Amino acid sequence: MRKPWQPQQPRSWWLRNPAYRRYMLREATALPLLLYTLLLLAGIVQFSRGEAAFATWLSWLQTPAGLLLQGIALAAALLHAVTWVALVPKILVIDSDRLRIDPRHVLRAHQLGALAGNLGLVGATLWLLWPAGGA
């Protein structure tokens, strides 16, 4: 019978080293981001049920629990964005005979893209919904 060697590692392995703690914090961003995605999904359900149900969902966003979730999710999304973009040039390596791109350019392009995407989205929301202008 096979008797595989079981490496002994304490469950608290990640608490001792700051780099491991940062890694676990980065992975933990998934939890608030999942809960926020479920909040958005609830918005789609409420939207499909009509105007009144959608207005109820909008009021959920403003409850203390809703604001707390969105606040934690915003912090998690910012940490995710910074750590994700920093990893992109290590994973997206464009280094073949036909095409070579300096990793610094890959990093810069994704930094600019993430800035443009996020600021553009907030800008579009403000432009569409500014009280003086529209809905």
Partner 1 sequence: MRRSHEPISWSLFGAGGMLLAFIGPGLIASTLLLGWLVQDPQALYATLSSGLQHPLTRLATLAVIALPLYHTAHRLYHGLHDLHIKGPTWLLGGFFYGGATALSALCAFWLFTL
Binding site for partner 1 (CB under 8 A): 9, 11, 14, 24, 27-31, 33-34, 36-38, 40-41, 44-45, 47-48, 51, 54-55, 58, 61-62, 67, 70-71, 73-74, 77-78, 80-81, 84-85, 91, 110, 113-114, 117-122, 125-126, 128-131, 134-135
In this structure, which long-range contacts are made by residues 65-69, counting pairs with CB atoms below 8 Å and at least 24 apart in sequence? Answer: 66/39, 69/32, 69/35, 69/36, 69/39
Task: Quote the least distance from Cβ 113 to partner 1, whole Å.
Answer: 6
Task: Provide Rg for the chain, Cα atoms.
Answer: 21
Cα gap 61→52, rounded to integer Å: 15
90-101 in b/e burial notation, b at 16+ Cβ within 10 A? eeeeeeeeeeee
Are 104 and 110 in contact by the 8 Å Cβ rule? The answer is no
Output 28 or 93, the one with its CB closest to partner 1.
28
Give 27 or 102: the residue with its C-beta nearer to partner 1: 27
Q: Residue 132 Cβ, how far from partner 1 at the closest point, in Å?
A: 11
Please, what is the minimum distance in Å from the beta carbon of residue 47 to partner 1? 7
Smallest separation (angstroms) from partner 1 to the CB of 127: 11
Nearer to partner 1, 3 or 97 (CB): 3
Measured CA to CA, the distance from residue 93 to residue 102 in angstroms comes to: 9
Nearer to partner 1, 80 or 103 (CB): 80
